Amino acid sequence: MCDEEVNTKSDPKVSELKAVYKLAIQTRNFEIQQLINRNNFFMLFQGVLLAAVFSNQAPKPIVEFIICLSGIFISGHQIKVAAGAKYWQEWWELKTSEIEDKLKNTIGKDGFIPLFSLNKEDEKDTKVFKEKVDNKIDKPESKFLEIDFNEIIKRKYSVSRVPIYTGFVLMLTWLALFLSTLSWFHSFDISTFIYGIHFEKAP
């Protein structure tokens, strides 16, 4: 048994698979980190544009028109960049899963802990581990208001999809602001259903 383990560790094929497996995980993590960095850049840039629109005291129609039009294009690029990053994250996770299967078949299944590739044999262990995670989230010391949040947490929403949704919402915002810069838009009386926030002066 010991001789087999020594031979497995010294096998150049195993060493190569381990190196590729490590590289695949690092690349996957790199894509996630880049997704965060790129999204932060777009959010900062769009925040500056929005501040420029709302802080504009004197009406400058052409400037507002150009800024809003730029915001639409930037939001579109934000969606594309976030979607591209999500694609490559999925690509590298699938590639890592395939390499993990090859590594598991090469060195043996005994004692091997899969991170990405899960088959029917691992479903039972995965279910048990998931129950442990749910129990930790639903710990007794959780406050009353956290009960609903715990249910949201257990739904396992995709964090990496949020930048895509954010870019889409910002695009709709810029589109609405862009339409408000056009003359024909003001021919519609929107005051009948948009009242705004008004504060009464104190006596």
Top-confidence residue, 45 or 198: 45
Distances (CA, A) of 51 to 32, 59, 155: 28, 14, 35
Tokens of 136: 């930790």
Q: Is the pLDDT of residue 103 over 70?
A: yes
CA–CA distance, 170 with 47 (Å, rounded to integer)? 10
The overall average pLDDT reported for the chain is 77
Q: How confident is the model at residue 104 (pLDDT cuts 50, 70, 90)?
A: confident
CA–CA distance, 47 with 39 (Å, rounded to integer)? 12
Beta strands in 111-189 (DSSP E): none
Burial 127-140 (b: 16+ CB within 10 A, else e): eeeeeeeeeeeeee
pLDDT of residue 2: 47
pLDDT of residue 75: 93
Q: What is the pLDDT of residues 162-185, one digit of tens each?
A: 889 999 999 999 998 888 888 776
pLDDT of residue 3: 46
pTM score, whole prediction: 0.71
pLDDT of residue 201: 58
Q: How confident is the model at residue 111 (pLDDT cuts 50, 70, 90)?
A: low
Angle CA 16–18–24, to nearest 5: 105
81 Cβ contact partners less than 8 Å away, ≥ 6 residues apart: 38, 39, 42
In this prediction, residues 180-196 reach a mean pLDDT of 67
